[in-house]
Structure 1
């Protein structure tokens, strides 16, 4: 494993440098959640009253409630951005060179996944700092305890992006597939409203939200931000991450690619 570290560092560094050179990507990653936080939340504050639910011990503002969900939004869009970059690299031929390196394919994909997750975590912390400047405070220790939750959620959503990229063959098809994945996952979750409110309006939508992996990623972040743990959210995030990773490895399996070409 130590001998593979230079390759791991090179792949992660490449992802970070690509992100640094794309300043618009960083700004876009912050603009999306800030628009929800500063614009939409102002309109929804009066319409969506919130009761005291775990992990909160008192009544909170709507802006405070959606902050963990917006961190999840950042990780979700970052995972899809990674998927886009993989499709682009495949069309340009650089992905083929990477996957033909004398290293296990799972290691190459894991390195790519770690690089994307690291970038997503940086974006989340930048967003939390800006949110703090607008008066949305959280427990000081929560900024530390949220890190493992961001890592697990980022890996899970990044693995989803890897799995999707293995089935998208042309860059032109990316936008449609992303809209089919991102918006249902985001809006059918607890990112913007608690599940009990969804249950009041529709039992079916409640159960869809309850089994949505993104819901549990958001709840894992929410509880961690308040120095707490949701065992159910942790379990679902780990299970979903494992399933998405297995699907990505299957999608990038060279033997499967040979069979498809022959067919």
Structure 2
């Protein structure tokens, strides 16, 4: 087998074992979106009326609208959590051991990113299954077509976490930075409110939400769950993923660290 595939399987397996040993992480990943779905949505349902907007063909309840956004929430939080483990591994020395592999650094980081993303997707599908038990169901083919959308969005958010972890040296600092990234990205997006609702309140907020990469990731998932491809969302999400990954590679470049020390 190719050394590249061996490294990929080994790192993904390591991420899976680590996840299975942290059952509270799985529970926490589901509690957050379920609270929004079952508690907050009940209160917002009467206050937020939703018109017919693509990909919906009829009027929908608020619970139906926020399901894709809550899938994005799972990907976002888990992407940051996975990157938090990178900071921990770097402090413990295991990250340094991994990066001494003869394989290219970009491939090792991609393997780490893939492992975290696959775990995020499994959690998102677990959430969709629970939502279906409460009567919030999508077209059956939407569950299949959502996989590539979840994969692209998960890679984008995981790459953002990688980029952040490359510039943060201490575990304590990363937790604080996460809060400054996660909550603005989540609330300034179309996860909880459609963009036209934002425009009614403030054109500036609408523009910020439209520029937010998380918005495009959520819309990619939303359309995929109804069997449709949102090409602009796919393009912007892929572009953001490439940009964040390039930033992460630059941050983990040992030559940059040498230059910085000499300066």
Ranges in structure 1 where 5+ consecutive residues have no aligned partner: none
Post-superposition Cα deviations, 1:136-169, rounded to whole Å, max 9, x if no partner, equal: 0110000000000000000000000000000011
Q: Which residue in the other structure is 1:88 paired with?
A: 88
| Residue 137 (str. 1) matches residue 158 (str. 2) | no
TM-score norm. by structure 2 comes to: 0.99
Q: Which residue in the other structure is 2:45 paired with?
A: 45
Give the alignment's Cα RMSD to 1 decimal: 0.8
Post-superposition Cα deviations, 1:46-92, rounded to whole Å, max 9, x if no partner, equal: 00000000000000010000000000000000110011100000011
1:8 shift after superposition: 1.1
> Mapping of 1:189-200 within 5 angstroms?
189-200=189-200
> Mapping of 1:206-225 within 5 angstroms?
206-225=206-225
1:262 shift after superposition: 2.5
1:104 shift after superposition: 0.3
SS in 2 for 1:144: helix
TM-score norm. by structure 1 comes to: 0.99
Mapped to 1, the partners of 2:42 and 2:204 lie a distance apart of: 28
Mapped to 2, the partners of 1:45 and 1:177 lie a distance apart of: 32
Number of residue pairs aligned between Structure 1 and Structure 2:
263
Q: Which residue in the other structure is 2:188 paired with?
A: 188
Post-superposition Cα deviations, 1:175-195, rounded to whole Å, max 9, x if no partner, equal: 210011000000000000000
> Mapping of 1:1-263 within 5 angstroms?
2-263=2-263
1:109 shift after superposition: 0.2
Ranges in structure 2 where 5+ consecutive residues have no aligned partner: none
Mapped to 2, the partners of 1:79 and 1:219 lie a distance apart of: 18
